[in-house]
Structure 1
Amino acid sequence: MQKLQGFQKVAVIGGSRYFGKLLVQRLHAAGHQVTVINRGSTPPPAGVEHLVVDRNDEAALTAVLGSRTFDVVIDQVCYTPVQAAIAARVFAARTRRYVMTSTIEVYDPATAALPAVPPGAPVPESAVDPAAWLVRLDLPWHDEAYLEAHYAEGKRQAEAVFAQQPQHSGRPGFAFVSVRSAHVLGGGAAEFTGRLAHYTGRITQGTPIAVHAEALPTVFIHYEELADLLQWAATATDATGPVNAASDGPLDVHGLGAVIAAQTGREPVYREVGAGEAASPFSFDRHYAMSNSRAKELGYSFSRTTDWLPAAVAETLAA
């Protein structure tokens, strides 16, 4: 595994909360020269440069960057191909490497016509190839309701813009890696989605949890591990293209409930949903649990979900 050597100039787009905030802290602690680019809602740690700008405003982003260049850009908040196209143009001559945080949702077979994966087989990165994915910049990506309804497709097309960047930036660009994150969990205040709290609250109160009749497994990652993997991806130069990020050991909703039950001493109560009825988060009736083999082959070592999940549950219960 080849790595960028020495301390680096790193730009983080976003980086104001959750694993992005932790990533900024870790990059700074490691001695890197860090620049955070966001709209200014939360200041970064002391010693970290802060550029306040709307990334959607290409002229403003270009102006605030000035003559700055970076060894690596880590993009935490790219959701649409329009945002990616702006970034591809602005950073084409400003960085050697670009890391985008993506998602397991790109593999959801309910959101696109994807290659069939054998039932239960971990889904590899090749199931969604951004180098060949169709980009539609003309779709209403600026509309929040449209974007929410097409979150997975927005991420797929954003990846595609970066993977096909000469076409969208008009010039040779940078090495690109998309980190496709599993469902991110943490404990207490670190778990900003509230999904783990949804389960701990219902189980401690004896409230039924809505699940599918045949709930299928999914994969998870602790927010600290994701921050660590993003830092690794920023410097591991052999890693290009899509990389799945998931702790070892898939769990279905019942396995998650069992871990919580062991902490609470209360058995979960489940209620099967009817056709078309929404289930609780992490109950899935379709298979798209990711394989993490490629990251391992590139040199990254994952924890096991069951090693860190009990502590995250305990922290959530304490909060």
Structure 2
Amino acid sequence: MKLLVLGGTEFVGRAMAEEALAEGWEVTVFNRGNHPAPAGALALKGDRTAQGGLDALREGEWDAVVDTWSGAPRAVRDVARLLADRAGRYAYVSSCSVYPFPAPRGNDEHGAVVEGSPDEGQRDYARDKRGAELAAVGAFGAPRTLLLRAGLILGPYENIGRLPWWLGRIAKGGDVLAPGPQALELQYIDARDLARWTLHALRTQLHGPYNLVSAPGHTTMGELLDTCLAVTGSDARLHWTDPKVVTDAGIEPWTGLPIWLPPGEMHEAIHQSDTSKALAAGLRCRPVAETVQDTWEWLCGIGGVAPQRPDRPVVGLDAEAEAAVLNR
């Protein structure tokens, strides 16, 4: 199959391109050329936000397109309209954020979604993702459009910084603030598992929205941090701390302490969604140990400093704030 990846050099887009190449697909990536394309992919250069930025896509045919865009919906509208007659299917990497927050525990693809428009400029993340979904469907039609509503995404090449921050902090050693409870369930997807399932879905002509994340309880906060200890070989000491102590100290869940959310409606919205539709359609998620080990090896291979997307906030707790809680 011939695949066009809009993006294709960072995190999820790179995972899509590399998985397709590994499966023998013919892969083209389209981006601004700021990062090298995966070996074996044809690289087309363009800026979808600039006048004439789509010129490199005015010729060519593909069996499928994967789009990872998270900005203005009209950028998806424009490229999808351009490709609608020359590509078979369109897979848009959306987000569970299209459901109004906080979504109820066990929310599935039938849940209400936020408002969005395919003609909007950039507004906020949830509306942008929903508008982009509508843009893809508007150009390709529902039977040819796959909406990948991903949850928390981890794995090698992560440019948000969540798992890399925990690995770096634990590798540093010493006393580590570990937000409890240890048995707190986590739900996420490895970018490579997301890619593998996406290619399967394109081959088998699946369409419509799918919540793309592991089953609830795929791992726990305790297992995640213990695995970080094991793969880094660190002598760090985890100090498991009551969630109320953490939040009373003014530490922001999710950003100050990445991945973690205290028990309650926020946790249920992010870590308790219903993914039975994707699981029934063949989604398989690798063990957390594999995701953590591979992310650590990648991180070490690039000097220990993960890339940071400029449009996302820097995550992680500074040493002074961590020490203040531990000293209590």
**What band does the TM-score fall into relative to the shorter chain?**
0.7 to 0.9
What is the aligned counterpart of 1:105 among 97, 100, 107? 97
1:133-152 alignment runs, 5 A limit: 134-136=115-117, 140-141=121-122, 147=123, 150-152=124-126
In 2, the alpha carbon distance for the partners of 1:216 and 1:108 equals: 23
Shift of 1:74: 0.7
Deviations along 1:245-301, one digit per CA (max 9) or x if unpaired, are 223434454443233345545432345122864131112241222332111222333
| TM-score, reference length from structure 2 | 0.72
Q: 1:225 to 1:299 in 2, by over 3 A?
A: closer
Deviates more, 1:228-237 or 1:252-261: 252-261
In 2, the alpha carbon distance for the partners of 1:314 and 1:138 equals: 40
In 2, the alpha carbon distance for the partners of 1:225 and 1:122 equals: 21
Q: Which consecutive residues of structure 2, in runs of 5 or more, have no partner in the other structure?
A: 305-328
Q: Is 2:259 aligned against 1:267?
A: no
Equivalent residue letter for 2:193: E
How many residues in Structure 1 have an aligned counterpart in Structure 2?
284
Deviations along 1:14-64, one digit per CA (max 9) or x if unpaired, are 001224223223323433222211111123245532221112247441x32
Q: 1:227 to 1:45 in 2, by over 3 A?
A: same
| TM-score, reference length from structure 1 | 0.74
Q: Is 2:79 aligned against 1:65?
A: no
Q: Is 2:231 aligned against 1:231?
A: no
Shift of 1:105: 3.3
Equivalent pair of 1:222/1:308 in contact (CA under 8 Å):
no
1:116-155 alignment runs, 5 A limit: 117=104, 121-128=105-112, 134-136=115-117, 140-141=121-122, 147=123, 150-155=124-129
Equivalent pair of 1:261/1:268 in contact (CA under 8 Å):
no
Q: What secondary structure sits across from 1:125 in the alignment?
A: coil
Identity across matched positions, percent: 27
Equivalent residue letter for 2:106: P
Shift of 1:202: 3.1
Q: Which consecutive residues of structure 1, in runs of 5 or more, have no partner in the other structure?
A: 1-7, 142-146
Partner of 2:318: none
Q: Is 2:290 aligned against 1:308?
A: yes
Partner of 2:152: 183
Partner of 1:12: 5
Partner of 2:210: 243
Equivalent pair of 1:200/1:316 in contact (CA under 8 Å):
no
Q: Is 2:274 aligned against 1:282?
A: no
Equivalent residue letter for 1:21: R
Equivalent residue letter for 2:108: P
Q: CA RMSD in A?
A: 3.3
Equivalent pair of 2:118/2:132 in contact (CA under 8 Å):
no
Q: What secondary structure sits across from 1:109 in the alignment?
A: coil
What is the aligned counterpart of 1:220 among 172, 188, 193? 188
Partner of 2:16: 23
Partner of 1:291: 274
Equivalent pair of 2:4/2:66 in contact (CA under 8 Å):
yes
Q: Is 2:166 aligned against 1:199?
A: yes
In 2, the alpha carbon distance for the partners of 1:296 and 1:225 equals: 12
Q: 1:136 to 1:173 in 2, by over 3 A?
A: closer
Equivalent residue letter for 2:167: T
Partner of 2:29: 36
In 2, the alpha carbon distance for the partners of 1:39 and 1:195 equals: 25
In 2, the alpha carbon distance for the partners of 1:128 and 1:256 equals: 31
Shift of 1:139: 5.3
In 2, the alpha carbon distance for the partners of 1:259 and 1:215 equals: 14
Equivalent pair of 1:51/1:64 in contact (CA under 8 Å):
yes
Shift of 1:73: 0.6
Query: Which has the bigger relative contact order, CA under 8 A and spacing at least 6?
Result: 1
Runs of 4+, deviation exceeding 4 Å: 137-140, 171-174, 210-216, 316-319
Q: What secondary structure sits across from 1:272 in the alignment?
A: helix
Q: 1:154 to 1:212 in 2, by over 3 A?
A: farther
Equivalent pair of 2:154/2:191 in contact (CA under 8 Å):
yes
In 1, the alpha carbon distance for the partners of 2:85 and 2:34 equals: 28
Q: 1:184 to 1:58 in 2, by over 3 A?
A: same
